[in-house]
Amino acid sequence: MNQVSKRLVGKRVLITGGGRGLGRALVRACAKHGAKVAFSYVRNDAAAEETRVELEALGATTLAFRARVSDGAETDSMVRQLEESWGGIDVLVNNAAVSQNLPIALMEQEDFEHVLRVNVTGVYVTSRAVLRGMIRRKSGVIVNIGSLAGMRLIEAPVHYAASKAAVVGLTQSMAKEVARHRIRVVCLAPGLLEDGLGKNLPEHRLVDYLRHCALGRVGTFEEVAEACVFLASDDASYVSGTTLVMDGGV
């Protein structure tokens, strides 16, 4: 692997939704910084295998699990296997999320509940499973991936915005509760990025975003991943309970 500043050497990291997109960038960055990295995914076996093979070619220790973050049994099984294989999890990155570009008038209740089930219940279920070991070891970091949509008055699907606002609240509450166990909890809230929701926006909405963005561009997956590495590392040992908004200055 390339010789770079390795902030996560010796750390055991679990990233949810790590098979592609931002998740893959997070997996790659954590591995680059010296961590053992496990990741979960839901459907795309080919993308997950591509991610795993890529990292193994770089010399990284990697495990992949097909598990739904909102399913307690699947998540508990994944965490249990990691605890047995690696002896523990030092860092959890709650990245798995979904969205739909639907106006509220056309949004079915199931649409709303599905997004909250993955984006909010998934954070709770996975954090609960991982925290049991972290509390025993009196050490750990949880990084929740939020969104600018949960922080600012911007045009975004209401169920997605609601879910990401809830992640901010979860971050604050968890950070206060588990601090006595020497566990940190932080939230990283990106603005529009090069792919995903940003790529699927109508042209007029992207133009409007860029007009209000001080840096005049969308962010990259790699920029967000490097910020996540910092928050997960010992270099951020006095950072907890807060949300870092990473939006280019909107």
Catalytic residues: 160
Rounded Cα distance, 12 and 148, in Å = 28
Query: What are the residues whose beta carbons fall under 8 Å from the beta carbon of 140, sequence distance 6 or more?
Result: 89, 90, 91, 92, 130, 131, 133, 134, 181, 182, 183, 184
Rounded Cα distance, 7 and 134, in Å = 19
Rounded Cα distance, 153 and 187, in Å = 18
Q: Mapping DSSP to helix (H, G, I), strand (E, B) and coil, where does residue 168 land?
A: helix
Asked if residue 123 lies in contact with residue 70, where contact means CB atoms within 8 angstroms, the answer is: no
Terminal-to-terminal C-alpha distance of the chain: 36
